[in-house]
Chains A and B, each alone.
Chain A
Amino acid sequence: MTLLEMHDALRAKKVSSLELTNTALAAIAKENPRLNAFITVAADTARAQAQAMDAELAKGIDRGPLHGIPIAHKDLVYTKGIRTTGGSKLFENFIPDHDADIATNLANAGSVMVGKTGLHELAYGITSNNPHFGAIRNPWDTDRIPGGSSGGSAAAVAAGILPMATGTDTGGSIRIPASFCGITGLKPTFGLISKRGVMPLGWTMDHMGPLAKTVRDTAVSFHAMAGAKSGYVPPPQVDIKGLRIGLPQNYYLERIDVEVGLAVRKAIQTAAALGAQIVDVTIPDIDALNVIGRVLLLVEASSVHRGNLHRRDAFGPDVMTLLDQGRLIRAADYVDAQRLRRIYQRDFSKLWSKVDCIFTPTTPTAAPKIGQVTMKVGDSEEDVRLATTRFMRAINVLGIPALSIPCGFTQAGLPIGLQILSGPRTEDTLLRIGAAIEDATAVIGRKPRTATR
């Protein structure tokens, strides 16, 4: 069931929050040995919370669409009294004494937190192949990565364990796993959702957002995470007639798998058939933005973890390498990267006078295999991390919102993601067009053969 289907079933008294929660807990017990999506399961507190939500509904208290819905938090999000590891050996026994703002907001919206999902170590990577807690596996093919760093959240949603889980995105960590796992993920505008109480990776690059089965579930979750006072209910029908969609003439449709290119072009045709206007656009220098983003994140992450850098054995080799790189960059270079960021952001923002949004692939390929270091992209062999983040990092530098939705499948049956970009604080545009494509295609909602429900 989707989040909104659960909402309807709860209101129709066809099911209780406790039953939904017990079903989710049973699904974790069944699927986690296969997927390793959860680090911690909070069964007792979840059942107690579900009973409290059922009692409120019985009294006529309704907190909105998330009331009584089981969810999970990425294990980077502080949860009071429940350990929060960050996927790191350093924090394997850390129990926060307060909730992150997004945990508070989602609890206030009535959701029931059943557990903490696994991630790439310290959210610093895209594979979720965690050296301390084990590799997280993709429900579509358990030999493949779910993407990262929010890999556990994506795997849990894709497997049908839960309709929604939280994620963080510093260089693609919501959108990449959404793409690889065939679900939706929203990286909102920088600063729109509070980061307080979430372990940082890069202060000026971190974004919080939801991963969910459908665009409408994503919309509901986004508004709740942002602390909306009343529960947002998305419209049942959406109209995108006249919306101007940018079709990149450079960069984003280059160096990608043929199947990915075909799926993205088909999504563009679908949008055109729904009445959207397709506008050719030339994209500003994404390679430059990616370089700026790498300088910023390398330095910020090394600063975040500076106090633990003497414990080299506590970090996985890939993370340690990145932290070392960040230590070598000079302060003046970091400041210059922030100056360049402003220039390139202003250049990019001129696009929003020509189009309302831009379609790109989320990732150049479908999910690589666990342990794969390089992969074939078109005719060339590329580093998995650099290739997978190529369409991601610049968007974190710009701070603009980005939605990833499924737009097709490879011949091998692996999901392909469509990334939709728009101007700052225009999430509703993204969610509107995402919902329109969701309604017009049978792609979204397809499940892995082994999905729980």
Chain B
Amino acid sequence: MNGKGERKGRSPFCAIQQMTDWKRSAAALDPPIPDADIEKLLPVVEALEASFRPLQATLTPEDTVWSGPEDFS
């Protein structure tokens, strides 16, 4: 039943190299996010990324996007 369980064998650790430099990303935004606010965001976005990258690493090219109610049938 578990999506991760059924798709084991694809290493989640390959994702570590993809971790983002959030401060650089924020600096590129228009309008910018003030530095003081970025510092407050870092723990949250880093934790989210750490949770998301292993899930992302299980995707294969044949996995397509959710198409809304069509996927209910």
Contacts and interface: CB of A to CB of B under 8 A. Distances in A.
Interface residues of A, number: 45
B14 interface: no
Interface of B: prevailing SS? helix
A338 B65 contact: yes
Contact of A327 (B4, B33, B66, B69): B33
Given A325-B41, A328-B26, A340 B69 contact: no
Nearest to B63: A339
A441 interface: no
A335 interface: yes
Contacts of B37: 320-321, 324
A342 interface: yes
B48 A285 contact: no
Given A328-B41, A336-B59, A285 B69 contact: no
Interface string B1-24: 111101100000000000010100
Given A204-B66, A295-B52, A321-B41, A344 B72 contact: no
Contacts of B52: 291-292, 295, 333, 337
Given A285-B3, A339-B66, A351-B1, 8 more contacts: A191-B69, A287-B51, A292-B55, A295-B48, A333-B52, A337-B52, A339-B64, A340-B63
Contacts of B51: 287, 291
15 contacts: A191-B69, A288-B4, A310-B31, A321-B41, A324-B26, A325-B44, A329-B45, A333-B56, A335-B65, A339-B59, A339-B64, A340-B63, A342-B65, A344-B3, A399-B68
B66 A347 contact: no
B2 A284 contact: yes
A424 interface: yes
A4 interface: no
Interface string B43-55: 0110010011001
Contacts of B34: 312
Interface residues on B, range: 35 or more
Interface of A: prevailing SS? helix
Contacts of A338: 65-66
Given A292-B55, A325-B41, A342 B64 contact: yes
A310 B45 CA distance: 21
A347 B2 contact: yes
Contacts of A425: 72
Contacts of A335: 65
Interface in A154-208: 189-191, 204
